[in-house]
Amino acid sequence: MAIEVTLGPPDAVRLALDTVHMAFGEISAEEDFAREDKVMPTDRILAAFDADFAVGAAASYPFRLTIPGGEVAAAGVTWVGVLPSHRRRGVMSAMMRAQIDDVHERGEPLAILWASESAIYGRFGYGIGAPCLALDAERGRFRLRDDPGPSGAVRLVERDEAARLFPPIYEHVRVATPGMLSRTKGWWAEYRLGDPEAWRRGAGPKFYAVLELDGAAVAYAIYRIKSNWEEGIPRGELRIAEAFATSTVGTRELWRFLFGIDLVAKVQMFALDAASALFLMVMDGRSLQLKVADGLWLRLVDVEAALQARSYADAEPVVLSVHDRFCPWNKGRFRVSDDSGRTRQSADVELDVADLASAYLGAFDFHRLADAGRARELKPRGLERASLLFRTPRPPYCPEVF
């Protein structure tokens, strides 16, 4: 079987979406093509052909990702799928090769993705870049600690008003949170506020809630409700797509609202911020039933450019020796400081590019990597110095599953 991988094949959006939906055992809807035509550049779509039949697809959105001290271009890898008839013969590997090379040529230093299964992407140099928490809380046990009582007011708004009120709140959080993506108007409209039937998964429509304090919008949430009754008892689920606030009071009042909705037994969120204040705000943290998830995966496509793009804490420089089997152009030693670059100096710490990805946004420090056998100290205090240099004011978070 000769497989040929093509970048930007004819009728790319339709071809790739049909292929990836088939790979997931689903079917495309007409509205999927219309939506993606607006947000996915066709020259970022790959298809793998067996003769003239598409058997695999992959694509990447042109994102801007917040990193410590700024933001950088990041390829948002998505639509990866191979038909069941052609699996485990290297089709995905061939597409990953072509995609990383393309991203590298475009000069985008990072690639990011959400994995359908955790075991897939490590071999291509991706590491866990921004883990998150899954929330599956018992609504009935919700109580705030040292509750000063409610303030502000929540309004449910229509999509148009949400499109005006939500982006400034999101932006306030985004610029300070490594792992978040900038959003165009089109992205807001098509993705965060868009509400195709196929995304509901048995639940109702999206609701858009804004919290106002003294007349100013300071927090919002997007959620659905899945109604459920058992033996006459309401056991609904509140599924939160995202929830953001610009202040502590806003955060508290937003959670008060979300946990105050009747007929709901479980309050759920697929990707809660690992640094969410919620755990420390409630009386019964255990009732939140938080579970760690791998979240956003990150690949340093160009290690030197990626290291130069982020800022560092005020600490001694460190030299990292980086291994990268899939992208040999990255192999070598890098001096990390406010003036990072390749160096001939001997290294303090040695690690694989996938593990550097776990430190890059601030998710894991070098001691934790070393404890897991994912980094090796080559000089005394190497791990400590690298950890001090890479530390960030908060852990990374990506609320956007794409």
- The residues annotated as belonging to the active site are 121, 402
Measured from the CB atom, is 84 or 168 closer to ligand COA? 84
Q: Which positions from 10 through 29 interact with ligand COA, judged by CB under 6 A?
A: 23-24
Please tell me the distance from the alpha carbon of residue 127 to that of residue 118, in angstroms, as a whole number: 10
CA dist 159 and 275 (Å) reads 28
Site string for ligand COA, 51-80 (x = CB under 6 A): -----------------------------x
Query: Residue 115 or residue 163: which is nearer to ligand COA going by CB?
Result: 115
Q: How far apart are CA 218 and CA 227, in angstroms?
A: 29
Query: Cβ neighbours of residue 149 under 8 Å, at least 6 residues apart?
Result: none
The correct pick among 27, 37, 53, 116 for binding ligand COA (CB under 6 A) is: 116
Backbone angles phi, psi at 380, to 5 degrees: -55, 140
Of the candidate residues 17, 45, 65, 82, the single one contacting ligand COA (CB under 6 A):
82
Q: Over the range 264-292, which residues count as b (16 or more CB within 10 Å of their CB) and which as e?
A: bbbbbbbbbbbebebeebbeeeebbbbee
Q: Which of 2, 30, 88, 197 is close enough to bind ligand COA by CB under 6 A? A: 88
- The count of residues interacting with ligand COA (CB under 6 A) is 18
Residue 90 or 285 with smaller CB distance to ligand COA? 90
CA distance 145 to 28: 46
Q: Which stretch binds ligand COA (CB under 6 A): 27-35, 86-94, 210-218, 303-311?
A: 86-94
Helical residues (DSSP H) of 120-158, grouped into ranges: none
**Among 50, 59, 122, 51, residue whose Cα is nearest residue 91:** 50
In the complex with ligand COA, the residue whose CB is nearer, 87 or 172, is 87
Which of 117, 214, 230, 231 contacts ligand COA by CB under 6 A? 117
Binder among 1, 51, 119, 280 for ligand COA (CB under 6 A) = 119
Tokens of 392: 């960030």
Residue type, 106: R
User: Nearer to ligand COA by C-beta: 45 or 278?
Assistant: 45
Please, are residues 287 and 135 in contact by the beta-carbon 8 Å criterion? no
Binding positions for ligand COA, rule: CB under 6 A: 23-24, 80-82, 87-93, 115-117, 119-120, 123
